Amino acid sequence: MALAVGCRARPGKARDNKTGSWRVFKPVFDHEKCSKCGMCSTLCPEGCIHEDAEGFFDPDYTYCKGCGICAVECPKEAIAMKQEEK
């Protein structure tokens, strides 16, 4: 990619930053416990937790930084932060 002058960018450019590489702890979602409330998706600062066809939620690990907010906020304690080995 050639450099844009002054690091200027069109909308949507943040998708190029694969922030998933920052992650140390990985949120693992347990659909057995999930009540499909969507709190994790609402509060995710990265906006990377998406609802699937059945109404369950899963993070996009390409962008999930592993901040753990979803795990702390989940009312059903259905999200566990697990040490990730790379």
Partner 1 sequence: MMEITEGSHAIAEAVRLCRPQVISAYPITPQTHIVEALADFVANCQLDAEYITVENELSALSACIGASAAGSRTYSATTSQGLALMFEVCFNAAGMRLPIIMSIANRALGAPLSIWNDQQDSISLRDSGWLQFYAEDNQEATDLHLLAYKVAEDHSIQLPAFVCFDGFILSHTYEPVDMLTQEDVDKYLPKFSPYERLDAADPISFGMYATPEYYPEFRYEMDQAQKRAKDVIAKAGKEFGAMFGRDYSALIEGYRLEDADTAIVAMGSICGTIKDAIDEMRVEGKKVGLLKIRVFRPFPSEEIAKMLSHVKRVAVLDKNISLGAKGATALEVRDALYGSTIPVKGYVLGLGGRDVRKKDIKEIVALSEKGQGDIFYGLRKELI
Structure-token match 């907010």, residue found: 69
Give the Å distances, CA to CA, from 82 to 6, 9, 76: 39, 35, 17
45 binds partner 1 (CB under 8 A): no
Q: Can you read off the two tokens belonging to residue 43?
A: 């509060």
9 binds partner 1 (CB under 8 A): yes
- Burial status of residue 41 (CB atoms within 10 A of its CB: 0-12, 13-18, 19 or more): middle
Residues 65-84 that bind partner 1 (CB under 8 A): none
62 binds partner 1 (CB under 8 A): no
Site string for partner 1, 11-40 (x = CB under 8 A): x-xx--x-----------------------
Shortest distance in whole angstroms from residue 29 CB to partner 1: 27
Residue 80 · residue 71 · CB < 8 Å: yes
Binding site for partner 1 (CB under 8 A): 3, 5-11, 13-14, 17
